[in-house]
Amino acid sequence: MPHRFALNTARRAALALVRTSSFARSHASNFDPAHTLLAGAVSALPLLTAGLLSAVATAPAQAATTSTAAPSSPVASASFTLTGVRPEALSWLWDNLDESLFMRASANHQAFRWVNAPATPEHLGYSAGARYEATVAWGGASHRVELTHLDPATVRTRVASDNYLGSKPYSFLAASVSVDHGSPFTVLVQYRATGSGFGDTAVQIEASPSAQAGQSAAWVKHFSELLQGLRPTVMTELDQRYFNAVLKTRGFYRVGQVDSKWMVPLNVVQEIKGIDSDMLRWWWDHIGNTERYRLWQPIDHVTFEWTVEPNSPDLQYDVGATQKVKEYVGKSAWTLLITGADPKVKTPPAPLGTDPFFFATANPPILNGVFPDNTLLHSWKPNATGDGVVLTSTFLNTALVRVLNPRFFEDLGSHALREFQMLPYFLPRLYRREQLGE
């Protein structure tokens, strides 16, 4: 569905329609293993960010910036595109910026420390009340900068309303900034996915006038430099420090033994806080497109399309509805056809109980029908504290895949944790807006 993103201030209230390259993921191996297995084993829309305050300019190799701080202008602003950076990286950065990252971004950065540490750095989005101090050089002098995260409600009329349908904002940072102990001014940083594969991030920064002449414009230039300086490495930081170091600890997986049909079971169990059973039931028929698929896993997921669309999108997956996806499992990119299956016709990889479930076959197109079907079963129930679900996933895949990747099943277990633990950061707002009409 189209996504609304407020680019300018409320007094200039101009919304731009967002339906806009994929994260240029670096992997040691970037091939479709299905073709190799068959042959050898057994054989944006353009960017719409022309705001009234600034123009957007992008370059293929680095982010480009346009800044506005004319004496007659009420605000200082900048607009630019971070190529190869997903919005989730910025949502992670706000609460996880540290001295190492800060100093790495620019030679003008001299010191950094949190005065009030963020309350929930383990979740994407910023924590209101967090405050840091930094020392930054500009204009031939060193300046003390203090930035405090504001209550998201203070900018409610200036940002996309669905930011308030989840636990933390997903597309903006609102803050109060003071330079050299001067009077504070308010800043708003908004960002959204852009590019043909939704792998880049369009950024808009606005700062209200400062009492000290030129300080808000100088800060906007500094903050633009910070984000652009981190562009080459921030996705790696997100991958290692968040997806691997945090999300993968929220569950576990177990690889089974090869059976008589050369199939290997994989069981994954995880608690997912922040969603409920109906949200997960709704999701299977409403993944929709690549833009939404990349919300599910910004690094591992690449493309999505329906080859057979659901007949009646609702809270029950459609048997026969078929997704064609491209995703990374470990360092290998796989193209798969995932087709909703009927447990009365095909045997699931694990017994069904009374809990809701999603059951499907998952085969590379070139191998579809050549080998026994790979299958998957996701079933879930409310967690003990009533603030989430416990998801049990069972995958049954051919052991022959180990010819291509000896650690395929371990990588698949990690993949399941990295993707399902992302649901709380986008699914509640999609479900509440589209299903409940909030």
Give me the chain's average pLDDT, please.
87
- Decide if pLDDT at 157 tops 70: yes
In the chain, pLDDT over 90 holds for what percent of residues?
80
Dihedral sign for Cα 427, 433, 436, 438, please. positive
- Domains of the chain in start order, with CATH, are 3-241 (3.30.530.20), 246-434 (3.30.530.20)
Which pLDDT score is estimated for 4? 40
pTM: 0.84
Which pLDDT score is estimated for 205? 98
Which pLDDT score is estimated for 15? 35
Do the beta carbons of residue 367 and residue 38 sit within 8 Å? yes
Distance CA 227, CA 79 (A): 12
Which pLDDT score is estimated for 318? 97
Which pLDDT score is estimated for 435? 97
Which pLDDT score is estimated for 32? 53
Place of tokens 């390259």: 21
What tens digit of pLDDT does each residue of 194-211 get? 999 999 999 999 999 987
Which pLDDT score is estimated for 366? 83
- Decide if pLDDT at 359 tops 50: yes
Which pLDDT score is estimated for 370? 73
Which pLDDT score is estimated for 368? 72
Distance CA 237, CA 227 (A): 13
Mark residue 181 as left, alpha or beta (left: phi above 0; alpha: psi -120 to 50; beta: remaining). left
* Residue bearing the bigger pLDDT, 62 or 79: 79
Which pLDDT score is estimated for 28? 41
Distance CA 209, CA 222 (A): 16
What tens digit of pLDDT does each residue of 272-319 get? 999 999 999 999 999 999 999 999 999 999 999 999 999 989 999 999
Which pLDDT score is estimated for 367? 75
Which pLDDT score is estimated for 31? 46
Distance CA 387, CA 346 (A): 33
Segment 150-179 mean pLDDT: 97
* Residue bearing the bigger pLDDT, 40 or 49: 40
Q: How far is CA 159 from CA 6, 173, 181, 273, in A?
A: 5, 10, 28, 26
In the chain, pLDDT over 70 holds for what percent of residues?
83
Which pLDDT score is estimated for 371? 79
Distance CA 134, CA 143 (A): 8
- List the one residue out of 360, 382, 380 whose CA is nearest residue 420: 380
Which pLDDT score is estimated for 361? 97
- List the one residue out of 175, 153, 192 whose CA is nearest residue 6: 192
3-state secondary structure string across the chain: CCEEEECCCHHHCCEEEECCCCCCCCCCCCCCHHHHHHHHHCCCCCCCCCCCCCCCCECCCCECEEEECCCCCCCEEEEEEECCCCHHHHHHHHHHCCHHHHHHHCCCEEEEEEEECCCCCCCCCCCCCCEEEEEEEECCEEEEEEEEECCHHHHHHHCCHHHHHCCCCCCEEEEEEEECCCCCEEEEEEEEEECCCCCEEEEEEEECCCCCCCHHHHHHHHHHHHHHHHCCCHHHHHHHHHHHCCHHHHEEEEECCCCCCCEEEEEEEEEEECCCHHHHHHHCCCCCCHHHHHHHCCCCEEEEEEEECCCCCCCCCCCCCEEEEEEEECCEEEEEEEEECCCCCCCCCCCCCCCCEEEEEEECHHHCCCCCCCEEEEEEEECCCCCEEEEEEEEEEEHHHHHCCCCHHHHHHHHHHHHHCCHHHCHHHHHHHHCCCC
Distance CA 326, CA 329 (A): 10
- Decide if pLDDT at 68 tops 60: no
- Decide if pLDDT at 74 tops 70: no
What tens digit of pLDDT does each residue of 243-253 get? 999 999 999 99
Which pLDDT score is estimated for 75? 84
Segment 327-349 mean pLDDT: 97
Which pLDDT score is estimated for 129? 98
Q: How far is CA 287 from CA 91, 427, 433, in A?
A: 22, 10, 14
Segment 310-333 mean pLDDT: 96
Which tokens in the block code for residue 425?
């950061």
What tens digit of pLDDT does each residue of 394-404 get? 999 999 999 99
Q: Residue 298 burial by CB count (10 A; 0-12/13-18/19+): exposed, middle or buried?
A: buried
Segment 74-101 mean pLDDT: 96
CA atoms within 13 A on the CB side of 28: 4
Segment 130-158 mean pLDDT: 97
* Residue bearing the bigger pLDDT, 289 or 212: 289
Amino acid at 16: A
Place of tokens 């921030």: 234
Segment 333-360 mean pLDDT: 97
